[in-house]
Structure 1
Amino acid sequence: MDEVRTGDAVIGQYDHGQALGILASARPAAIKALAERVLDGFGDVTVISNRTGLAMLPYQDTVKGTAFHLGEVLVAEAQIEVPTRDLEGYGAVVGRDLEHAMAMAVIDAAIAARHQASVILEFLDAERRHQEESDRQRLTLVEATRVQMETF
């Protein structure tokens, strides 16, 4: 993930947007297990919202450079508050997995509180590597398919 930095690092080398991007694409079972672990000793959590809905998917025309909405996408989102720490967390994922969105919100709040930061950073690094490897495998498969199609 050679993303352009959009802000200051909030955990390790990741800015807030990069961390949320990794969490949104994380393997569901892994992020849910991390959220359970992070909740230990974190304090009471109040759910502000936990819902699914449709969101417009923005896109940019690569030729003209104009922005438009490609269509609607189903999104699960969660927002929590941790009153004892005076902070909030937010999570949103494509699809209807409310538990994944809630786990993401818990971890987002934990990052802001610097709660179990080393555990979260280790998770982010591992998921980033997993996502990069998955992307590499997918691109290799696409390239192999393209080559096969050219031989016909």
Structure 2
Amino acid sequence: MFNETGSGGPDHRAVLDTLARARPERLKAFAETLLEGMGEISVVANRTGLVMVPMRDTVENVDFHLGEVLVSEAQIADAAGHVGYGMVTGRDLERAMAMAVVDLRMAALGEEPATAQFLSEERAHLAAADDARMRQVEATRVEMETF
């Protein structure tokens, strides 16, 4: 599997995290709108594979591998040398490619208004989904009295 080769930094990682968790059909549709003005794109990689899932044992403070997870990965480049990268869980190469298209567009042109709006909407959706999930988890919490 590739190491992330984009601009790096915390902002880029946050964008990749949002894109990886974005609603699949919405991400694919948005990527389609971006493709029109991007010129020729070459596919560097478009594949599925297994990656190890690292975890930390908080008692002994050591890392271990919990297991493997199936991922789809895409890496693309334009004629100017900009690179776009996408990796998502599961077997969905089209979604990974859509993520790479958005990442490439941002690498080439920066965060345009349409991209900023898409990312903002997806962040808000993800925050609401995370909040709902945490409310469900909290509802299962049991208070135990200890002696």
Same fold (TM over 0.5): yes
Contact map agreement 1:79 1:89 (CA 8 A) in 2: yes
Q: Output one character per residue of 1:5-32: Cα deviation in whole Å (capped at 9) or x when no partner.
A: x836xxxxxx110000000000000110
Matched, 1:35 2:31: yes
What SS is found at the alignment partner of 1:110? Answer: helix
Contact map agreement 1:82 1:88 (CA 8 A) in 2: yes
Q: Distance in 1 between matches of 2:9 and 2:48?
A: 28
Q: Which residue number corresponds to residue 3 of structure 2?
A: none
Q: Which residue number corresponds to residue 64 of structure 1?
A: 60
Aligned residues: 137
Q: Which residue number corresponds to residue 131 of structure 1?
A: 126
Q: How far apart are residue 115 of structure 1 and its match?
A: 5.6
Identity %: 51
Contact map agreement 1:49 1:79 (CA 8 A) in 2: yes
Q: How far apart are residue 77 of structure 1 and its match?
A: 0.3
Q: Distance in 1 between matches of 2:24 and 2:106?
A: 18
Q: Distance in 1 between matches of 2:66 and 2:111?
A: 38
Q: Output one character per residue of 1:27-80: Cα deviation in whole Å (capped at 9) or x when no partner.
A: 000110110011111111111111111111112222222111111000000011
- Decide which of 50, 54, 59 is 1:54's aligned counterpart: 50
Q: Which residue number corresponds to residue 79 of structure 1?
A: 75
TM-score by length of 1: 0.83
TM-align CA RMSD: 1.9
Matched, 1:95 2:106: no
Distance 1:59 1:39, change over 3 A: same
Unaligned residue ranges in structure 1 (runs of 5+): 1-5, 9-14
Name the amino acid aligned to 2:47. Answer: R
Moved over 3 A (4+): none
Name the amino acid aligned to 1:105. Answer: A
Q: Which residue number corresponds to residue 7 of structure 1?
A: 9
TM-score by length of 2: 0.86
What SS is found at the alignment partner of 2:141? Answer: helix
Unaligned residue ranges in structure 2 (runs of 5+): 1-7
Q: Which residue number corresponds to residue 11 of structure 1?
A: none
